[in-house]
Structure 1
Amino acid sequence: MSAVGPKLRREAREAYERLRTYFLVAVQAGVAAGLSWFVASSLLHNPQPLFAPAAAVGTIAAAIGNRIRRTAELLAGVSLGVLAGDLIIEVIGAGPWQTGLVVALAISVAVVFRGSGAVMVQAGSTAVLLGTVSPAGPDLAIPRTANAVIGGGVAVMVALLILPLNPVRVVHRAAGPTLDLFAHQLTVASEALARGDVDRAEAVLQRLRAAEVERRQTTEIVAAAREVAMLSPWRWRRRALLRRYEHAAEHLELAFTNSRNMVRRMVSLLEAREPVPPDLPAAIEHFGQALRLLHRDFLAGRTPDIARARAMEAAGEAQRARTAGLGFSGTIVVSQVSIVVSELLQASGLPKGEADRTAGLHARR
């Protein structure tokens, strides 16, 4: 029962952070849905306005960092569906098998033109709509196309002009919990290594694998922030800072992947009962601290000298552990420490060559 409380608190905290990060997206979707319905129904008197808010919500929520591309895909898919539906139904009429044929043709055309999954979905759904309406029924091709234009256009306007997110604040909120989780698990891993606790090290590995979802969400948020900073005139002044974040995010993603590989090899080290010099767990702990310090430096807008110093300390400890004597898996763990330190130093702004030398990669080659 004692373990339930901390777990529930952690899950509640993570849920709160997710809500805080995505709340503006929910508000954008609601505003875009209502506005697109108003435009389609009240201003343009579209007899089938439902698809306009659906298209707006799909553009806002389904492609957070690629709204312009999502709108283009939406229009391309609808156009292909209308083209295939109108051409075929005029000849063979409407019905179950006609609908199946039209959908297959629409998706095939999308594939020929190298359309994405979103293009194929829109082409197929538009073909279904047209295929279920008899030739004597209302013409839905034009309203469907108009609704796609309205929904996509309104969504882009809301996301970039009416309610643009603050790119720097959103990245801070998204990256902070992810980096804290990452750094905390490295601390736990270093303790497990120092104590020879295989089960705890395995638990860290499973948690890092599960955290892949959070990492992907952070990448998505960074892409959304980049899009807003590039396209929203209200956020142009944030472009230089966002480029810095993008550069850091690329290297931190690689650091995350290599850290997970490092922990997997650490489990093998413990299972094989290989020697563990004290400097090895210390190196892992100090690398985790460097991650936290890097995020704090970014928040404060200062040069990450403290984070770099802690990462260099981790690299030095890893090399001393190598000198003290390691087994096969231990040697690989040290190599992984050097790689993740180099990625962190590059995230902090150091050139690759300097980062590799500082992390000890060139020395080993």
Structure 2
Amino acid sequence: MVAVGRHGAGGGTLTRDDTSARAGPTAALVRLRDRAVAALRDRWRRVRAIGGLAVQAGLAAALSWMVAYELLHISQPVFAPISAVSTLAASVGQRLRRTIELIIGVTVGVLIGDLLLVVIGTGWWQLGLIVVLAIMVALFLVGSAAVVLQAGATAVLIATLSPSVRDLEVPRFVDALIGGAVALLVTAVLLPLNPLRVLNRAARPAMDLLTTQLDATATALRERDVARARAALTELRQNAEEVNALIEATRGARETNALSPVNWHYRHGPVGRYAQVAEPIDRAMRNSGTLIRRVVTLIEDGEPVPEPMPRAVADLAETVRLLKRQFAAGDEPLRAREQALRAVRAAGDAYRAGVGFSGAVVVAQIRTTVSDLMVGTGLTQEAANRLVRRDFGDLRPPVVTRGR
């Protein structure tokens, strides 16, 4: 064993193996602690993210039951709170649609169930036939999964309980109406969510992902590090969840602005601008994926990397970073536009300095991604393209350099 110049409590020399044996469990405990802390933080963020929804659902369930039982004297208004919670459980931005679907589904189930009970009576095969026809009619009329489920469930209740429970049809329909209406009342008036906060929470992961991978790509270009570029491409390709969350949040912001008088003042302000960013960010993600893929090929083929090229990609990352900050603050993203045009100018300098085949594609994708982000700041596509052309500069053919 190899001795190290350190002594234990008993005066003996600690060997390197002894030190590793002691350090091993300590390092494992540190890693375990770090993972536990990270898991707790993630769960706490999750609770904070849906805490408002939980309070909304509880209030809507209680109010819908009270309205149905105390005011309308429905003896067992079970479906009213269920409808309220079901409406709130729908994706943010689709709650009005979910309420309408609930009512349509219940109506179809009631009509089909009542009609067939009169014609064919009750029994196991009658129940099966009623459910089949209710679902088929719901599919024919609307085609929504929620409508189909409600139609089928209502048909089951009508076919099985109507013979023993009088006037079940009206309470079922009224319950659906009460639950959906109370849920909308809670989300629009009593406990409306702040749409800007919802958008910030949803946009942060998508924009952080894009920023991080563009920064990594700029470093990969400077250092000709193909492994880093490949890793950035892999990470960026796994963006479906982040982009879908942002798209869903923009729908929710529009719905909140439309339904909630408390938030009407946001309609033409920061939320209005923010709600238009989802599609341009999605396009910027896809175009950045193409950019990074060509960076991988560029490095593998040994093409030249003019000094302005990594700078252009880094400027692109800074554009996304600024866009996130200015949207979060509710500011018009003027600085983000200036930064985007800085990336275009650097890309133009790289093009004229001389690039290879893949380098030309990288430059083109920088231009395209900047155009996407400029649209995200509120410009029209035509205006964004015009500014990109102006700041890119001369389009004379580049000096093509052979790969090394």
Residue in 1 aligned with 2:9?
A: none
Instruction: Flag the 1:142–1:282 CA change in 2: closer, same or farther, 3 A.
Output: same
On the 8 A contact 2:112/2:133 being kept in 1, the answer is yes
Residue in 2 aligned with 1:226?
A: 254
Match of 1:111 among 114, 126, 139: 139
Q: Which has the higher contact order (CA 8 A, sep 6+)?
A: 1
Match of 1:287 among 290, 303, 316: 316
Match of 2:352 among 318, 323, 339: 323
Match of 1:344 among 373, 388, 394: 373
Matches within 5 A, 1:192-207: 192-207=220-235
Letter of the structure 2 residue corresponding to residue 235 of structure 1: N
Q: TM-score, normalised by structure 1?
A: 0.88
Letter of the structure 2 residue corresponding to residue 197 of structure 1: D
Question: How much is the aligned-residue C-alpha RMSD, in angstroms?
Answer: 2.8
On the 8 A contact 1:78/1:144 being kept in 2, the answer is yes
- Give, in angstroms, the shift of residue 72 of structure 1: 1.0
Alpha-carbon deviations, 1:210-260, whole Å to 9, x = none? 332122112212221222222212221111112222233332232223223
- Say if 2:90 is the partner of 1:62: yes
CA distance in 2, matches of 1:62, 1:223: 12
- Bigger radius of gyration: 2
Letter of the structure 1 residue corresponding to residue 95 of structure 2: R
Match of 1:306 among 335, 342, 354: 335
Alpha-carbon deviations, 1:291-347, whole Å to 9, x = none? 111222234444433222221121122223333343443332222211110111222
Matches within 5 A, 1:44-123: 44-123=72-151
Give the total of aligned pairs: 365
Letter of the structure 1 residue corresponding to residue 193 of structure 2: L
CA distance in 2, matches of 1:120, 1:272: 55
On the 8 A contact 2:59/2:186 being kept in 1, the answer is yes
Residue in 2 aligned with 1:151?
A: 179
Alpha-carbon deviations, 1:112-131, whole Å to 9, x = none? 22342222221122123223
Instruction: Flag the 1:114–1:301 CA change in 2: closer, same or farther, 3 A.
Output: closer
- Give, in angstroms, the shift of residue 364 of structure 1: 6.3
Instruction: Flag the 1:87–1:328 CA change in 2: closer, same or farther, 3 A.
Output: farther
> Structure 1 vs Structure 2: percent identity of aligned residues?
45
Letter of the structure 1 residue corresponding to residue 284 of structure 2: A
Match of 1:358 among 377, 387, 399: 387
- Say if 2:267 is the partner of 1:239: yes
- Give, in angstroms, the shift of residue 15 of structure 1: 4.9
Match of 1:209 among 237, 255, 258: 237
CA distance in 2, matches of 1:324, 1:30: 63
CA distance in 2, matches of 1:295, 1:105: 50
On the 8 A contact 1:357/1:363 being kept in 2, the answer is no
Mean CA deviation greater in 298-307 or 3-12: 3-12
Structure with more of its chain in helix, by fraction: 1
Match of 1:168 among 180, 188, 196: 196
Mean CA deviation greater in 285-294 or 217-226: 217-226
Residue in 2 aligned with 1:32?
A: 60
On the 8 A contact 1:208/1:260 being kept in 2, the answer is yes
CA distance in 2, matches of 1:257, 1:94: 56
Instruction: Flag the 1:132–1:263 CA change in 2: closer, same or farther, 3 A.
Output: farther
Letter of the structure 2 residue corresponding to residue 353 of structure 1: E
Mean CA deviation greater in 88-97 or 223-232: 88-97
Alpha-carbon deviations, 1:122-169, whole Å to 9, x = none? 112212322333634554322221110111011001000110112223
Letter of the structure 1 residue corresponding to residue 120 of structure 2: I
CA distance in 2, matches of 1:7, 1:315: 41
On the 8 A contact 2:348/2:394 being kept in 1, the answer is no
CA distance in 1, matches of 2:136, 2:70: 36
Letter of the structure 1 residue corresponding to residue 376 of structure 2: A
- Say if 2:335 is the partner of 1:335: no
Instruction: Flag the 1:61–1:362 CA change in 2: closer, same or farther, 3 A.
Output: farther
Alpha-carbon deviations, 1:90-122, whole Å to 9, x = none? 322334433332222112212222342222221
Residue in 1 aligned with 2:13?
A: none
CA distance in 1, matches of 2:54, 2:72: 26
